[in-house]
Amino acid sequence: THSRRRPMSALKSTAIFNLMQQGLKAQGPDLVKKIKAVFRFDIIKGSKVLKSWLVDLKNGSGKVEPADTKTKAQCVIKLTDKNFIKLMKGKLNPMMAYSTGAVKVTGNIMLAMKLQKLTKLVMKAAPTAKL
């Protein structure tokens, strides 16, 4: 048997970014006022970036969209699909993850501290979602 490569849609983080999009429809303007930052999440496996997402919580009512590694952001967060899920479910402490190297942050690291507000949005949008 040969192992089939998993398609991009197999990333569990994709579902979370979709939930963020839904959450922003309701709370976008409010979050933009609180967070005022543009993030890029690079979902990685080893040293390879599998998928990038732009989370704009600075302009208008915010937006979440697929991006690439050249997309500019004030804060870039690199982590595995698994750690992204843990982070968004509140099961991974951002500071611990950063200090142990589980999460890499470039750009304005203080903005990464605001991610807990984003986590709350995801949890609100997805109390019953199977993540």
Which of the two residues, 6 and 65, has the higher pLDDT score?
A: 65
> Within 10 A of 7 (CB to CB), how many other CB atoms are there?
7
37-45 and 63-67 strand pairing: unpaired
User: Whole-angstrom Cα distance, residue 125 to residue 123?
Assistant: 5
Contact 19, 130 (CB under 8 A): no
Residue 2 pLDDT: 46
pLDDT over 70 (residue 6) = no
Taking only the tens place, the pLDDT of each residue in 46-70 is 999 999 999 999 999 999 999 999 9
Which of the two residues, 127 and 7, has the higher pLDDT score?
A: 127
pTM score, two decimals? 0.86
Residue 128 pLDDT: 52
